Amino acid sequence: MASKGSDSNRQQQPPPPVSIEIKATQDQFFVWREFVWGGIAGAFGEGMMHPVDTLKTRLQSQIIMNASQRQKSIPQMLRTVWVGDGLKGFYRGIAPGVTGSLATGATYFGVIESTKKWIEESHPNLGGHWVHFLAGAIGDTLGSFVYVPCEVIKQRMQIQGTSSSWSSFISRNSLPVKPRGDMYGYYTGMFQAGSSILKEQGPKGLYAGYWSTLARDVPFAGLMVMFYEALKDLTDQGKKKFPQFGVNSSVEGLVLGGLAGGLSAYLTTPLDVVKTRLQVQGTTIKYKGWLDAVGQIWRKEGPEGFFRGSVPRVMWYIPASALTFMAVEFLRENFREKGSDNNNVVSTLSIERKRSSVHEVREN
């Protein structure tokens, strides 16, 4: 009798919570997917728009390279790069640019979703827009450890152009090219540039303008996420009122991402100018720090100096952000459908387990 009672007790025990384990695994997989898709999307956007970024860097740094000459306009700089370097000149520094964007995109999109959930749970009193701002800022800050050295290498390679044009520039301006000289030597590639900067200036050289980069990118990343989510809310309200005009999430990401990126880029252009000047000056210390750079630009160039290169910056970020958000939304949409199918399987398993356990109790 005792053994029979113990057998019935064992039969009445509830089944193990397999659905919880499967759900946890799916959540972890979702986070890793965000890292991968964010990295791919970031590298894709940078690769497509690198020539525009080269134009922007040349415009913002020309006062360091040619302080005595009149500053060139966008068409003039475009012609200068084309005549001096050809098509190759616009793609100088693309390897470190893509590498940095790969790291930033991965951390940006990989951290942002989990960070939003954590902030909403730990600080429920914060408004939705502040949550989006903080999530974007945290994600971008984590990526800066890889992004900043890549940005320094990329921008120095961009202003050099090809080896022939760089040699011509050095000879025209009679600049000594040697360690601790007025200007750094020619960089043949990303790794050679990194090792050269590390040898001549140490880690400080690779992280030149680090705090100015954070001062630019943290507000930019926060604003872009905040604007994107706000525009998505407006779009969702519009879909409810006018369902016949609904579009898929990829097109939505393309349009809203471009608007959010362009607006955020323009508002943070002054911070980008300061960062670029600090990073390309090399061993010739024209600016002693962030505040000194701000003061000198204001005194010598006025408000116009802070928005130098704003047009190509916005021209870069509108399509780059549009392509990035479109790629992420496309990948999310396709994998979300597969994930929802898996969730249905999990819920069916849970229901079947519950039904089977109820039948066992009734039979006993």
Q: Tell me: the pLDDT tens digits for 120-136? A: 677 777 666 777 777 77
Q: Is 177 helix (H, G, I), strand (E, B) or coil?
A: strand
Copy the structure tokens of residue 36: 């991968």
What's the confidence (pLDDT) of residue 86?
Answer: 87
Higher pLDDT, 21 or 194: 194
Range 234-240 average pLDDT: 86
What's the confidence (pLDDT) of residue 231?
Answer: 92
What's the confidence (pLDDT) of residue 69?
Answer: 59
Q: 101: pLDDT confidence band, cut at 50, 70 and 90? A: confident
| Chain segment 298-322, per-residue pLDDT in tens | 998 899 889 988 998 998 889 888 8
What's the confidence (pLDDT) of residue 98?
Answer: 92
Contact 261, 321 (CB under 8 A): yes
Higher pLDDT, 158 or 65: 158
| Contacts of 169 by beta carbon, 8 Å cutoff, 6+ apart | 65
Using alpha carbons, select from 167, 154, 185 the residue that is nearest to residue 92.
Answer: 154
What's the confidence (pLDDT) of residue 127?
Answer: 61
What's the confidence (pLDDT) of residue 341?
Answer: 47
Q: Is the pLDDT of residue 332 over 90?
A: no
Range 180-206 average pLDDT: 79
Distance between CA 30 and CA 24 in Å, rounded? 10
What's the confidence (pLDDT) of residue 128?
Answer: 66
What's the confidence (pLDDT) of residue 265?
Answer: 94
Distance between CA 338 and CA 79 in Å, rounded? 49
Q: Is 187 helix (H, G, I), strand (E, B) or coil?
A: coil
Residue type, 319: P
Q: Is the pLDDT of residue 16 over 60?
A: no
Q: Is the pLDDT of residue 107 over 70?
A: yes
What's the confidence (pLDDT) of residue 212?
Answer: 83
DSSP state of 15: P
Q: Is the pLDDT of residue 26 over 70?
A: no
What's the confidence (pLDDT) of residue 260?
Answer: 94
The architecture that CATH gives domain 26-161+189-339 is Alpha/alpha barrel (1.50)
DSSP state of 99: H
Q: How many helices (H) and strands (E) does the chain have?
A: 15, 0
Distance between CA 187 and CA 280 in Å, rounded? 13
Q: 356: pLDDT confidence band, cut at 50, 70 and 90? A: very low
What's the confidence (pLDDT) of residue 186?
Answer: 76
Distance between CA 106 and CA 110 in Å, rounded? 6
Q: 200: pLDDT confidence band, cut at 50, 70 and 90? A: confident
| Chain segment 85-98, per-residue pLDDT in tens | 888 889 999 999 99
What's the confidence (pLDDT) of residue 24?
Answer: 44
Q: Is the pLDDT of residue 191 over 80?
A: yes
List, in sequence order, every residue forming a beta bridge with 183; answer none if it has no partner.
Answer: 177
Q: What percent of the chain has pLDDT over 70?
A: 70
Distance between CA 221 and CA 199 in Å, rounded? 32
Copy the structure tokens of residue 225: 């996420």
Cα dihedral 200, 202, 203, 205 in deg (nearest 10): -40
What's the confidence (pLDDT) of residue 267?
Answer: 94
Copy the structure tokens of residue 204: 């400080």
| Chain segment 255-294, per-residue pLDDT in tens | 999 999 999 999 999 999 998 888 777 666 678 888 888 9
